[in-house]
Amino acid sequence: MIQTKSPLPESIDTLPKALLHIANRQPNRIALRRKDFGIWHDIHWSEYLEEVKQVALGLYALGVKRGDHVSIIGENKPEWLYSALGVMSTGATFVGVYTTNPPAECEYVVGHSKSAVYICEDEEQFDKALVFRSRTPDLKKLIVWDMEGLKHFDDPMLMSFDDLLALGKKTGEDHPKLFDELVSGGKGEDIGGIIYTSGTTGPPKGAMLSHEGYLWVGKQASFITRTTINDETISFLPLNHVYEQVFDMMVHLTVGHIVNFTENTDTVTTDMQDVSPTLFHAVPRIWEKYYSSIVLKMADATWFKRTCYEISLKIGSQYNTMKLSGKTPSPALQLAYWTAYFVVFRKLKKRLGFDRVRLGFSGAAPISHNILKFFQSIGIPIREGYGMTETTGITHMSDEFNFKLGTVGK
């Protein structure tokens, strides 16, 4: 077992306590960024905490209590984290649901988890609940972030997210110490989240993940990746998947780096160019798409550009083969590589939005060795990791320097 010194005090044993600690330590630092209609908006840690507090107290006022379950279904947005942290602050457990799930699959997760509240993004996800709510008797409230199309829909179970926040704000004014009391009552062994994952047989199983597990993985992952508060990541993989939660919740609430939310799944490429994160995590299919786009662009390039690229790639491959084998490249090869990097790779990385990426990650499925070699050659080291939902994500990963191709690390 890797032993590290946690950046969090030992007394902090739940994610809401970690949020409180970071927000009080650096209230005016940027915690999150969201993009709406092409414009990026900063969200500071003090604002982040206030949103979570209002969600928690609003849910408490609705009757959500310790041990209850609340389902969350929506794309990657700050509201997803506000909802999850708000749920956990009350002592309840959040249950993530895929936005692509049809009503029957949503019904299974909501019904099996006995969720008392269903927090969703918009009318599309709300409509799914209308299909099954008569068959999920534990469900008492349907809360919607974006009320577009539902403003004139009258239903006793429907509540807007804004109204939930208003209820939470009023509850906080009436009971100033309530939020701190709720958070302080949490314990490390409490179940923070449940992720439904398909097993080898039968319907999906709910993996119950504790706060101490979330924080342990956050601590170890931040140590291996050397993540600091000055790092930035970009959020676009499904947030109810444990892989995205590693960076958006576990490491984020351990270190306090910036999480940037893409506008939608179609804008990831342009959002990458805007943000240029320092850490980038993706599944093999995403890395393969980036590789293919480079190959196609170079095939259409002029003879001169294509020749420079091909020569630089050979130099990069030789240089990084020696580096990864623990050998020191000759002065001539080092000079050739830095020339290739300055002339070709630096511009290529900037065009992709990778100019600040110091480390990339690939997980959730095996990745081709050729893809790893290619990105390593152009100056983007990718480290392949392995983990399971049941283990709260990563169990094996290499750091930037100790890496052996074809393995998933220690």
Which residue type occupies 169?
K
The answer for residues whose C-beta is within 8 angstroms of residue 7's C-beta and 6 or more apart is: 219, 222, 254, 255
pLDDT of residue 1: 40
pLDDT of residue 3: 42
Long-range contacts of 33-38 (CB under 8 A, 24+ apart): 33/258, 33/259, 33/260, 33/261, 33/275, 34/77, 34/78, 34/261, 35/260, 35/261, 35/262, 35/263, 35/267, 35/271, 35/274, 36/263, 37/263, 38/263
The answer for residues whose C-beta is within 8 angstroms of residue 122's C-beta and 6 or more apart is: 74, 144, 145, 146, 148, 149
pLDDT of residue 404: 80
pLDDT of residue 264: 84
pLDDT of residue 4: 45
State if pTM tops 0.85.
Answer: yes
Report in angstroms the alpha-carbon separations of 376 from 187, 284, 329, 388, 402.
42, 15, 15, 26, 14
> pLDDT for 304-327, tens place per residue?
888 988 898 889 888 888 877 778
Residue ranges, the chain, pLDDT below 50: 1-5
pLDDT of residue 6: 55
> pLDDT for 244-277, tens place per residue?
999 999 999 999 999 999 988 788 888 988 999 9
pLDDT of residue 323: 79
User: Residue 334, class by beta-carbon neighbours within 10 Å (0-12 exposed, 13-18 middle, 19+ buried)?
Assistant: middle
Under 8 Å between Cβ of 165 and 143: no
The answer for residues whose C-beta is within 8 angstroms of residue 18's C-beta and 6 or more apart is: 8, 12, 215, 253, 254
